[in-house]
Amino acid sequence: MHDDRGLVEARLNRVLDERIRPAVYPESVPLDVAVWVAPDEPVPVEEGLAAEVTPVAVGDLWGAPWGTSWFRVTGRVPEAWAGRTVEALLDLGFDENMPGFQCEGLVYRPDGTPVKGLNPRNQWVRIGAPADGGEEVCLHIEAASNPVLLDYHPFVPTRLGDIETAHSDPLYKLTRMDLAVFDETVWGLVIDLEVLGELMHELPLDSGRRFAILRAIDRALDALDLQDVNGTAAAARSELTEVLASPAEPSAHRISAIGHAHIDSAWLWPLRETVRKVARTTSNMTALLDDEPEFVFAMSQAQQWAWIKEHRPEVWAKVVKAVADGRFVPAGGMWVEADTNMPGSEAMARQFVHGKRFFIDEFGVENDEAWLPDTFGFAAGLPQIIKAAGSKWLLTQKISWSQTNKFPHHTFQWEGIDGTRIFTHFPPVDTYNCAMKGSEIAHAAKNFKDKGVARHSLAPTGWGDGGGGTTREMIAKAARLRNLEGSAQVVWETPADFFAKAEAEYANPPVWVGELYLELHRATLTSQAKTKQGNRRSEHLLREAELWSATAAVREPEFAYPYAELDRIWKTVLLHQFHDILPGSSIAWVHREAEKTYAALAAELTALIEKAQRALAGEGTQALVFNAAPHPRHGVAAGGAAVRAAEKEPGLSGRPDGGFVLSNGRLRVEIDGRGLVVSAYDLVAGRETIAPDHPANLLQIHPDFPNMWDAWDVDAFYRNTVTDLDAADEVTAAEGASVRVVRSFGSSKVTQTLTLAPGSPRLDILTEVDWHETEKFLKLAFPLDVHAERYASETQFGHFYRATHTNTSWESAKFEACNHRFVHLEEPGWGVALVTDSTYGHDVTRTVRTADAGTTTTLRVSLLRAPRFPDPETDQGPHRFRHALIPGATIGDAVREGYEVNLPERMVPGAGPVAPLVTVDNDAVVVTAVKLADDGSGDVVVRFHEAHGGRARATVTPGFAAAGVTVTDLLERPLSEAELTDGAVEATLRPFELRTLRFTRA
């Protein structure tokens, strides 16, 4: 037989596009349309429904950026359509290639009942099959004219990302507002041909199955009268019956399809718009569940569920019913799909506490899986947190985006810093927006790296990012792929069903130890510095508010613990840890609002702290210092208050060739006439910290124009060009033992204050930047005379080691990495730490000096960037950073000093010392939370972990009469009994182990 494959394939494409798809709606009549434009922000549904409308027509322009228009569409079903299926086709001006990234709508009936959402891939509303015809139709559309920001030419700077800077011209044109007859037979033919055509393209050219499909398609097209598609569609479908009925091979890969709509809680839209995106998507999904008995939909992010409950009660009622039916599945057990690199220990724990508790309280559902398809890499402390929250599985897809190294597994055990292992799955379909295309299904089967020992993978199916969810077309394709020769088998399942099967079939999966580093989006550790500072400050203020409020509630009978306030504030902070807010990759509107939110939270938390401290201090004139850090300092116990011990102030003197010398008996620091640190001499160890001829405290600036994803990415070539900012406008002695350095560069200015802490080998560096650069990257460099093959960065409940060398492509790819409060480098017997109050990104490189063959290990912290997309004003304006260099530091010193920099002492006049509510007698055991139990019982909850990376024994002593104590999970539910011995608990911890104790008060 001659090869006519190309001829038939081209025929299929043209006939589908030009004849069959248009015949799905063979008859239509226009609807009457009128509109009311909301004058400002979105209005309640009842107001939109009742508003007075003005007639408009198809072809009219509508929708200023970020506006809301309420359309009313009315009409009558023609009597001639009696008994036929009728749908309304409502095209607001969609581009079908951008679901979730442009205008959207939510359709309501006149009584306010939500019907379904409208988006580019979901423009229909089922009217029904009226028996007699003549039925009156009236629908209302709450239409959001969200601007397209990520266009066909992406990453173009735009002012449309903030309602305050956007123009007011209409963005969209009404394209179609019709009633139409829906021909389900023709629609079914479209799905048949799409599934077979897509499958055919994935099969080998020498495959008999491929040519069997080709011949069946050819026969089907022969059976179709192109002038009467609707009359001959059934005959065409009958020619495809045999090839659609041929079953899959017994060894075929098996895919668990899970209805899905990963909705970014904010990104190219503000938080308020996400509330409506969730309502539109969930309305679509509950409607689909009614129509499709096998379909299962899963939605994560408890915050989004809470938004529906609060803002869209009419949608919430449908969701609640669907959950009760077991097919609308709460997933993930986190408050939001958070970034996992930057949130602190307690914040990461509270993501699970608040997320899981919401699903338990509302639905009696507890999640076993963490669900993070789009998060930008995973910190090595996360497995222990997942387990401590009562979960055991993890799903993510994002690691498939890594640019350099292909991750070697799709299903595996992920081991964290403490040894906890979590069963983890990366869907080999390589997308969390699967549309059931043949190319996607074939890719999942071919790509799956665990063939031969496992055969199950997962496919999150539905339009996401901006929402939309699964479509009826995806469900129809999945039905045909359930058992189809040449394809993987597809079945709708819940996340729990998938993980149970995957775990059962794979008894000994491979193990990956340490962080799951995403080789992309590294600049999210630096972009939008004020958002990151707001998060860090909020985390530590919450620690203080809980600690002092719990102490006051136990000690002062009249003091009321602020349960509701703390719960609300925690949820707000957790929301802002979403993986496009905290990473700095959202539009200007999001970060402008975040800055205001953080300021308001800081004021509220400070007031809670002050109220509790005043209650504890009593009436008096003693200058009490409250120490919220987990270690004693200056004679004040951890978690207590007392008069601070006096210490000798450091000395300040001039250098012969310019600059200054700071000394306090433990550390001598020389600052030259350029304001650079040329020596930091550890007087106790007799050891220099700074590498010869390589000054520290050196600001460096790079060009920063990545190939893609401006706010997200920094590409390795940025290092090829660097400018040292070593010229000083001013180097002068400042108040106390401090040196002030002023520098100007470009359109920006930096003022630094270098101070030696009393009695401590700690050089504090306050850096204030008035930043007005564009597409630049600002770093602060510390070249250290340290020979180390690895270094430690703090992460949740411990620290993680990374290589200083680039032996392999895996190590080379980690050219920008995350730390929390400290980075620590060490030779045997001596180390140095750099601690920070607000920065996360850093890099470490090493060179060997020619002069003395010594190793210079350079640690650079990332201060500021200036990308132009999606916020063209990213980081412009004033900023303030605190860092501290600690020569001679052990890991324990790094932990302690990191807390001290982030938890400054508070001075309150009072009557006398305040004893800690809880004490721990081992500095290696760090308390991360002291609070009252969330259930209002008055029990005291204490969470702590081993922080040095070794085994530790500690005595945990409550500063109150305790009747009993239990070990609990993160949700404060009992795991085991603990023993009180002489009123205290003896704890033995493995490296980095976290533990939660719940004390019942006597």
**At CA 495, angle to CA 491 and CA 500, rounded to 5?**
90
- pLDDT tens by residue, 656-704: 999 999 999 999 999 999 999 999 999 999 999 999 999 999 999 999 9
- pLDDT tens by residue, 964-975: 999 999 999 999
The residues pairing with 923 across neighbouring beta strands, listed in sequence order, are: none
- pLDDT tens by residue, 584-641: 999 999 999 999 999 999 999 999 999 999 999 999 999 999 999 999 999 999 999 9
- In the 8-state DSSP scheme, what is residue 914? B
516-538: average pLDDT: 98
The single-letter code of the amino acid at 125 is V
787-805: average pLDDT: 98
CA distance 184 to 164: 46
CA distance 1001 to 958: 10
Question: For residues 332, 334, 339 and 341, what is the CA-based torsion angle, rounded to 10 degrees?
Answer: -100
150-164: average pLDDT: 96
Contact 482, 489 (CB under 8 A): yes
Confidence (pLDDT) at 735: 87
**% of the chain beyond a pLDDT of 90:** 97
The residues pairing with 444 across neighbouring beta strands, listed in sequence order, are: none
Confidence (pLDDT) at 1: 65
The edge-to-edge listing of strands for the beta sheet with 54-56 is 54-56, 32-37, 67-76, 136-145, 104-108, 114-118
Confidence (pLDDT) at 864: 98
Confidence (pLDDT) at 347: 98
692-718: average pLDDT: 97
Confidence (pLDDT) at 663: 97
Q: List, in sequence order, every beta strand (DSSP E) within 804-961.
A: 817-818, 822-827, 830-836, 841-848, 855-865, 877-887, 906-910, 918-920, 925-932, 940-946, 952-958
- pLDDT tens by residue, 445-486: 999 999 999 999 999 999 999 989 999 999 999 999 999 999
With left for phi above 0 and alpha for psi between -120 and 50, is residue 521 left, alpha or beta? left
| Residue 455, CA distances (Å) to 411, 413, 567, 818, 890 in order | 10, 16, 43, 35, 47
54-82: average pLDDT: 97
Mark whether 374 is an active-site residue. Answer: yes
Q: Distance between the two ends of the chain, CA-based, in angstroms?
A: 91
Taking Cα atoms as reference points, which of 606, 584, 610, 605 lies closest to residue 595?
A: 584
The residues pairing with 957 across neighbouring beta strands, listed in sequence order, are: 919
- pLDDT tens by residue, 364-415: 999 999 999 999 999 999 999 999 999 999 999 999 999 999 999 999 999 9
User: The tokens of 497 are what?
Assistant: 């069903």
DSSP SS3 for 933:
coil
DSSP SS3 for 866:
coil
Q: Which residues of 624-639 are buried (b: 16+ CB within 10 A; e: fewer)?
A: bbbbbbbbbbbebbbb
Contact 301, 265 (CB under 8 A): yes
Confidence (pLDDT) at 383: 98
Catalytic hit among 91, 162, 374, 704: 374
Contact partners, residue 680, CB within 8 Å, separation at least 6: 667, 668, 669, 670, 688, 689, 690, 696, 763, 885, 887
Q: What is the mean pLDDT of the chain?
A: 97
* Position 773 pLDDT exceeds 70: yes
Alpha helices by DSSP H, listed for 938-996, are none
326-345: average pLDDT: 97
Q: What is the phi/psi pair of residue 582, to 5°?
A: -55, -40
Confidence (pLDDT) at 944: 98
With left for phi above 0 and alpha for psi between -120 and 50, is residue 61 left, alpha or beta? beta
Confidence (pLDDT) at 647: 85
* Position 132 pLDDT exceeds 90: no
CA distance 369 to 458: 13
Annotate 332-385 with DSSP letters as a single string. S-SSS-B-SSSS-HHHHHHHHHHHHHHHHHHHS----EEE-TT-S-B-TTHHHH
Annotate 237-286 with DSSP letters as a single string. HHTTHHHHHSPPPTT--EEEEEE---B-SSSSS-HHHHHHHHHHHHHHHH
CA distance 272 to 42: 9
CA distance 978 to 960: 17
The residues pairing with 798 across neighbouring beta strands, listed in sequence order, are: 795
